[in-house]
Structure 1
Amino acid sequence: MAEEDFLELKFRLFDGSDIGPFRDPPASTVAMLKERIVTEWPKDKKGGPKSANDIKLINAGKILENNKTIEQCRTPFGELPKGVITMHAVVHVSLTKAKTEKKIDEASKKNGCACTIL
């Protein structure tokens, strides 16, 4: 594959900072991009993803599916041929995972013992 066929991508985070840009072949899948985001996530930022499943990628207002390639997700208009494609990377912890963690915290509080000496 020729070097000019590669797409230049960057990922915008919740605070307006970016990860990238990276050069990827159009055949790369969204799942592969999510894995890269997890490894490249800035260590000084709180609320980072624990796995690729915690990330939602958004391009042109659409949430991208893991099994789609970059080429399938590109919008055909509004992009310059040599321009950088910016995708939004949103950390989205699943609701069931958050509820489970909350129940564990609540259970540890209920099982605790408290003594009061007067």
Structure 2
Amino acid sequence: MSNSYISFYLKAYRIHVFTDTLRAIDSPKRICFLVDKDIKHLAITPYHMRDLKSHSVPDDVYSGSNSLEISSFPLCQLISKKLNWEFNCSYRVLGKVGKISSGQKAVVFDLTYAEKIKDTKNGQANE
């Protein structure tokens, strides 16, 4: 199985969910983010309802013609403040596929092991 990643582009308040991450949880039509009370772990799970907690995954994400980008000022701000991430940088986090306490399949990311994304232009951390 390939690695599962998520990236946070804090300056743009954007979260990039990699397609392989979505495929690891059986290619759902909708997902939701779960964050633990210490804001150290984030999980992505399939979600079967349309409500304020869910995010739609368009079909073209799985065909390879698009990626899943979610804009969330509140989530980006919360994570960056709690973990002292630099708000003008971008971060990538490796996730592990497993099950959460409810038995639901999920990809869980340990946010304390985030790596700054390098700027390909100059080899520096993205700022």
Q: TM-score, normalised by structure 1?
A: 0.30
Q: What's the TM-score, normalizing by structure 2?
A: 0.29
